[in-house]
Amino acid sequence: MNIVFDVGNVLIRWRPERAVAPEFPDPAKGLAYLHEVGFFDWNLTQDGGRPFNDGWAALDAAHPGRVQPLATYPQRFAETIREPIDGTWALLDRLKAQGHRLFAITNFAVETWPTALEIHPRLGQVFEDVVVSGHEKLLKPSPEIYRLLLSRNALLAGDCLFIDDSLPNVEGARAVGMAAHHFTSPETLAQDLTARQLI
């Protein structure tokens, strides 16, 4: 079986509120600010390949005078992804030891993916191929991004298990014929992998 991992909140935690911690030391207030300025939709567009300079202009136009706390987001991005999810990495190692091929599809911006590789170098070492949305200008859950991984690696959808914390992304994988697991914790993933006789 080919195992296809998401990265954010499956293998590494993403805590975007840490990027605005200098202005909002209280994480709850930081998250509230991010929601107020539409950060999560904005960030998804960045993951789709929009350059950060264009992104700042769009954010400032939509929320004039409100975007200064995010001005250093690229420089502070490393603080948002420091924490590996060790339980998932342990399962990945078990899957690799069982001989399963490992791949990844991640929604990630062009400018921030190198930071992820620097902090978590195994992301660039353990997978046969990683499809990064910003590079391809494709986003999960569009079918094209899953099909790109399949075609690029001569894989059959029915021979793949996709793992993602986003239910829409899981449903997108299923729509192209992949088996899929909606990730909530390493423990539930371990139970599913055991039930599928993959570990």
E strand or H helix at 124: none
Where are the alpha helices (H) located in the chain, listed in sequence order? 27-36, 39-47, 52-62, 73-80, 86-97, 113-119, 133-136, 143-152, 167-175, 186-195
Q: Which of 34, 35, 39, 38 is nearest to 23 (CA)?
A: 34
Say how many C-beta atoms besides its own lie within 10 A of residue 54's C-beta: 11
84-128, pLDDT tens digit by residue?
A: 999 999 999 999 999 999 999 999 999 999 999 999 999 999 999
Confidence at residue 149, expressed as pLDDT on a 0 to 100 scale = 98
pTM for the predicted model, two decimal places: 0.93
Name beta bridge partners: 130. 104
- Whether 72 has a pLDDT exceeding 90, the answer reads no
Kindly report, residue by residue over 138-168, the tens digit of the pLDDT: 999 999 999 999 999 999 999 999 999 999 9
C-alpha–C-alpha distance, residues 63 and 66, integer Å:
6
Of 24, 119, 110, the residue nearest 74 (C-alpha): 110
- Identify the band that residue 74 occupies on the pLDDT scale cut at 50, 70 and 90: confident
Ordered structural domains, the chain, with CATH:
2-13+82-195 (3.40.50.1000), 16-80 (no CATH)
Q: What is the pLDDT of residue 163?
A: 98
